[in-house]
A and B are shown apart, each in its own frame.
Chain A
Amino acid sequence: DIQMTQSPSSLSASVGDRVTITCRASQGIRNDLGWYQQKPGRAPKRLIFAASNLQSGVPSRFIGSGSGTEFTLTISSLQPEDFATYYCLQHNTYPFTFGQGTKLEIK
């Protein structure tokens, strides 16, 4: 199975900060990666598909990049509603696999 390693596992930041979350795949997955946001008690929400494409309705401050084995999700200017847990998901090879999550907390 492809292992997806997210870093950091948790992150404290302030409103207005620029933050970056990284996801590394144990083998190349082209650009077959999505980023998801989950708030407590809620279903996940897809933010980015195909590594760098913004899901409809998602603010442009969410930026995805990368290809192959290394991917990043950048939030250019944190807003209060962005404090949540973020997951990457590879959909290149079965079984598809999620990263372990990055919890973004208010500093």
Chain B
Amino acid sequence: GAGVSQSPRYKVTKRGQDVALRCDPISGHVSLYWYRQALGQGPEFLTYFNYEAQQDKSGLPNDRFSAERPEGSISTLTIQRTEQRDSAMYRCASSLGYGDSPLHFGNGTRLTVT
């Protein structure tokens, strides 16, 4: 079956531009998570959803970052007025949503802000 799909795979943008990163979770997965991963580091939590409801956005660095999952399936992470420090791998993960269900990660979007 299909895994978690993220697009684009790579995104290069100029400082100050807005970007939208897309995540298509595994079909039937209730929970969807956004993480950011710096090279050589563990994934850093950004936000997550159960169905369409955003349950926790405490990891979003500032108000330039936002996420939505309007129909409880595909999610978009938007970064406004990008800065060079936003450059990173952005990973989406999904899970069945019960207490200890494992996370299934996508291949990520590598964002480079020039």
- Real binding pair: no
The chain B residues found within 8 Å of chain A, CB to CB, are none
The chain A residues found within 8 Å of chain B, CB to CB, are none
